[in-house]
Amino acid sequence: MMATPMLQLQGVAKRFTLHRQNSLELPVFHDVDLSVSAGECVVLDGASGLGKSTLLKLVYANYRASAGRITVQSAAGPVDVTQASPREMVSLRRDTIGYVSQFLRVIPRVPALDVVAEPLAEDAGDDPAGIEAAREEARRWLARLRIPERLWHLPPATFSGGEQQRINIARNMIKPKPLLLLDEPTASLDAANTDTVISLIREATARGAATVGIFHDAEVGAAVATRRVDVGAFRSKG
Amino acid sequence: MTTATTEYNFAYLDERTKRMIRRAVLKAVAIPGYQVPFGSREMPLPYGWGTGGIQVTAAVIGPKDVLKVIDQGSDDTVNAVNIRRFFQRTTGVETTTRTVDATLIQTRHRIPEAPLAEGQVMVYQVPVPEPMQRLEPREAATRTLHALAEYGLMHVKLYEDIARYGHIATTYDYPVLVNGRYVMSPSPIPKFDNPKMHMNPALQLFGAGREKRIYAVPPYTPVESLCFDDHPFEVQRWDEPCALCGATDSFLDEIITDDRGTRMHVCSDSDHCHSRQQEQQQAPVPRPEPEQALA
Amino acid sequence: MNTPNTNSPLLRVRGIAKRYGDRVALHDASFDLWPGEVLAVVGESGSGKSTLLNAIAARDKPDAGSVEFQVRGGGLQEVFTMTEAQQRMLARTDWGFVHQNPADGLRMDVSAGANVGERLMGLGERHYSRLRATAAEWLGRVEIDPARIDDAPRTFSGGMRQRLQIARNLVTQPRLVFMDEPTSGLDVSVQARLLDLLRQLTRQMQLAAIVVTHDLAVARLLAHRMLVMQQGRVVEAGLTDQVLDDPQHAYTQLLVSSVLQP
């Protein structure tokens, strides 16, 4: 008997309507059917511009699906992301879905250590011991990702692209979640850090996370994938 | 012996006006501490000189009343003399300087030391009836605050005093809570006098002529001075007794007697001081008190 | 500590409408707000966003509609049928209102400590030292040097005044805070500091908030959800990042594409 997949896309379609250009419609894909189970790491393949990032964003509800259903298994039961209320999505993102986007959206003034610790610190609430534990864990992640200690108390706005990307990864993976979405997590990283990220992904898979990832580097994709899906198959003819 | 002039109605005001003021007084008595608006009339002295007190007195005074008028505790300052003469001319009533003999006392800025009795009426002259005026000058706003008993602002003022001076610096016109409901300005009496208002057997009436408000504290009404739990209300104390009568429990004025700055403290309440001096002179045995006190 | 009733929203707004003569300033606005949710209301001048805020905060009675608030120890209660005394009590305890101009929300000539302590004094706190200690703690939380506790806000900079206004509102641990353009008029660096503070405080205190702003970046930073308003109507609503990154309505697309990137 198959366990319920962690993530299920059924008949999902996405098109953009650009009202400022005479309501020009840009179809991206249609009829996407995809299931990802716990312990799987699905790597999305396909040429750039085909909509791989878009697919991840639909799962995260950063984009709105034009049709279809996207079902995620939360602790409280299945949630259809396309119909979920904002508060359900906030809760889902907090506890169920981790997302490493391509770009770190920088929150001004918050030191790197706290940016990374935040998902755990949030759960700790007022408890000072919990907050300190969150910071401790953040330090471990920063060290593992080779962020120099002198940068830990600085806000990441002035960091290099690679450093920002590592902060992004640490922040969004520090709290283990059942579903992980990764969009080009190693794009600006050197070999050593890329290897570290591969290990992190493998560890996540090993603990039972369902992962969907996009990797520009074929080797990285090969190193972590348990299955590969070509999004070209879903692509709408423009 | 004085004769009333017949040019004016008894007590100067016409009867309709007296009725209007009495209605306001009745309302005020029914709602202790609440400021009742009234149609303040033109009086033969300008605003700021006691027109409110005079109007209240004029509305309640009767031919059998015995009137005492004091200003800063004294019967013989200019204002007290003038107001007393005004009522002598327009009513012909008997006047007195002795608190215990008066039925009606009009006062500016003091409560007499001699305890009042049932049946006596005190009329206070009030410049600014609204206790929150400095902090909230808009009358529409203060009216709502009183109506909803929202008195946080009053405590803000006291807080500011403590923050600035280390203690509540207000020494006169110290705000009070009347009958557990309305916060009231007791008029610029020294805070030393505030405790006298509490459960007083006399009827206390307050008149503000310029601001056109009348309020009242009926007999035996609780009146508490506002304070903080850790900064309780305290009255003023002096290190010396009165230089003339030796009293240690009255409000003392400081009088500078020469240009070298020599000063002496004497009772502000002239009647009180006089009475005590007379008692001491009449006593068969010389009282050691004054010498001890002056040592 | 009041356990939130998670089955009903903290605030339920239905059909709010407001007109000034012939001009309809607000058509039929409706939404629910849950505990701990921050909702941004964005739009340009004349969109009706401030009108909506003032109507919901009971500062200005709307011509139609209802606003229900989940009172402590009770259920949803219609705000406009409350007595003035109840509304004022609500405004001083469970609600906060942060004005665009801090001078509108502060007593400018009264010390910072008294500004923060006033609500507590209004609720019957009569212990001076406790009031002062609470005020000092709050000044610290909004990053104002506690040594300035006895200074009047007239001597403060704009950013400090705004932070003081926030402290004054939050001292009674409100569950819902209304903010009208809380950062506009402030220097950029000052804005950043204030936004960071607001972000932290809303999370720490589990505050629900309705933030009116014309600045999309403020919405993105502070809010989970967003309403986009145009000419008195809500044209789009949803998750903040979704509305900003995948705008569906023509006007939202226009707004988002018009933002200058430094």
- Under 8 Å CB pairs connecting chains B and C tally to 56
Please state the rounded mean pLDDT for residues B193-209: 97
B66 contacts B95 by C-beta, under 8 angstroms: yes
Residue in B closest to C119 by C-alpha: B152
Please state the rounded mean pLDDT for residues A21-33: 87
What 3-state class would DSSP assign to A205?
A: helix
Query: What was the pLDDT predicted at B162?
Result: 92
pLDDT beyond 60 at A2: no
Over chain B, what HEC string results? CCCCCCCCECCECCHHHHHHHHHHHHHHHHCCCCCEECCCCCCCCCCCCCHHHHHHHHHHCCCCCEEEEEECCECCCHHHHHHHHHHHHHHCCEECCCHHHCCEEEEECCCCCCCCCCCCEEEEECCCCCCCCCCCCCHHHHHHHHHCCCCHHHHHHHHHHHHHHCCCCCCECCCEEECCCEEECCCCCEHHHHHHHCCCCCEEEEEECCCCEEEEECCCCCEEECCECCECCCCCCCCCCCCCCCCCCCCEEEEECCCCCCEEEEECCHHHHHHHHHHHHHCCCCCCHHHHHHC
B263 contacts B126 by C-beta, under 8 angstroms: no
Query: What was the pLDDT predicted at C262?
Result: 60
Query: Contact C121/B230, CB-based, under 8 Å?
Result: no
Structure token pair of residue B49: 């000189």
**Distance between start and end Cα atoms, chain A:** 40
pLDDT beyond 60 at C212: yes
3-state percent helix, strand, coil for chain A, nearest multiple of 5: 40, 25, 35
Question: Which of B52, B53, B242, B246 does the annotation list as catalytic?
Answer: B242
Structure token pair of residue C106: 């502060």
Q: Which of residues 240-259 of C touch A (CB under 8 A)?
A: 241-242, 245-246, 248-250, 253-254, 257
A131 contacts A118 by C-beta, under 8 angstroms: no
Query: What was the pLDDT predicted at B294?
Result: 47
Contacts of A18 in chain C (CB under 8 A): 253
- Residues B127 and B120: their CA atoms lie apart, in Å, by 23
- Residues C177 and C67: their CA atoms lie apart, in Å, by 15
Question: Which of B119, B245, B246, B261 does the annotation list as catalytic?
Answer: B245
| Residue range B94-128, pLDDT digits in tens | 999 999 999 999 999 999 999 999 999 999 999 99
Please state the ipTM of this predicted complex. Answer: 0.90
Residue in C closest to A23 by C-alpha: C250
| Residue range C92-150, pLDDT digits in tens | 899 999 999 999 999 999 999 999 999 999 998 999 999 999 999 999 999 999 999 99
Please state the rounded mean pLDDT for residues A43-65: 90
Residue in C closest to A106 by C-alpha: C221
pLDDT beyond 80 at C6: no
Query: What was the pLDDT predicted at A58?
Result: 96
- Residues B145 and B139: their CA atoms lie apart, in Å, by 10
| Residue range C9-66, pLDDT digits in tens | 999 999 999 998 888 899 999 999 999 899 999 998 889 999 999 999 999 899 999 9
pLDDT beyond 50 at B293: no
Instruction: Mark whether B227 is an active-site residue.
Output: no
pLDDT beyond 90 at C2: no
Query: Contact C196/A108, CB-based, under 8 Å?
Result: yes
Query: What was the pLDDT predicted at B168?
Result: 85
What 3-state class would DSSP assign to A148?
A: coil
